[in-house]
Amino acid sequence: EAITPQTLINIRPVVAAIKEFFGTSQLSQFMYQNNPLSGLTHKRRLSALGPGGLSRERAGLEVRDVHPSHYGRMCPIETPEGPNI
């Protein structure tokens, strides 16, 4: 009998964890596909808030400030903290 990855690893827990994250997590969203530009801006959103991240009360100014190396890679306005930057 040949050993295959399917016989060594049970994939059901992995699939369940992925479905749970994308289905119920605060960090996942449906992507806007109205036009290519809205899809691109949606992909560049970034959040440090949520499970495992910062809370609005604990985030100081140095955390909210945009580092110069982030320009061109992320959109600081399209983030949940956008109005506070």
Q: How far is CA 7 from CA 1, 4, 66, in A?
A: 11, 5, 47
Contact 47, 80 (CB under 8 A): yes
In a domain, 84, yes or no: no
Per-residue pLDDT of 57-76, as tens digits, reads 776 777 667 778 877 777 76
- Look at the block and give the residue holding tokens 């970034």: 46
Where in the sequence is the domain holding 61, given as residue range(s)?
5-70
In a domain, 60, yes or no: yes
In a domain, 81, yes or no: no
Number of domains in the chain: 1
Kindly report the pTM of this predicted structure.
0.46
In a domain, 65, yes or no: yes
> 13: burial class by Cβ within 10 Å (0-12, 13-18, 19+)?
exposed
Per-residue pLDDT of 7-24, as tens digits, reads 888 999 999 998 888 888
